[in-house]
Amino acid sequence: MSSEKPPVKKVERQDGLIEYHVIAAEGWDDCASLARFIVKQFGAGVDSQADGICSREWKVRIGAVQIHLKHHDDIGNFFYASPRTDESNALVEQVANELNVRLSGQE
């Protein structure tokens, strides 16, 4: 078994929200690239995008599930789904798994 860390790390916050931190793509421009990947790979639509001084957020939608993809200069890129349901949790897990494959070069 490999001791390498996966490109996407699952983090469960104290409030129960599950976030996926994209360790292998932490930059400002990577946020837009990740959003484009989700749009292309999963047929998502872009609900909104906003840039701040040290942060940016893309909201993309796959069916009834909205994925929040955020960048913060201190944290990097991460994403989570709303509303929090079994369906949305499974969907973001699928996105994370696909990113792990792509970013680790296993395709």
- Over the stretch 45-69, which tens digit does the pLDDT of each residue have? 999 999 999 999 999 999 999 999 9
Query: Could you tell me if residue 69 is inside a domain?
Result: yes
Question: Which range of residues forms the domain containing residue 37?
Answer: 8-84
The H or E element that residue 11 is part of is: strand 8-12
Query: Could you tell me if residue 104 is inside a domain?
Result: no
Query: Could you tell me if residue 92 is inside a domain?
Result: no
pLDDT of residue 106: 60
Query: Could you tell me if residue 101 is inside a domain?
Result: no
What's the total number of domains in the chain?
1
Burial of 32 (0-12, 13-18, 19+ CB in 10 A): middle
Among the ranges given (2-11, 25-34, 69-78, 90-99), the one the predictor scored with the smallest mean pLDDT: 2-11
- Closest by CA to 90, choosing from 5, 10, 14, is 10
Query: Could you tell me if residue 102 is inside a domain?
Result: no
Query: Could you tell me if residue 45 is inside a domain?
Result: yes
Query: Could you tell me if residue 13 is inside a domain?
Result: yes
Handedness of CA 64, 70, 76, 80 (dihedral sign): negative
**Beta-carbon count within 10 A of 60 CB:** 23
Query: For 43, left (φ over 0), alpha (ψ -120 to 50), or beta?
Result: left
Query: Could you tell me if residue 20 is inside a domain?
Result: yes
For residues 13-25, give the mean pLDDT. Answer: 92
pLDDT at 1 over 50: no
pTM for this model (two decimals): 0.91
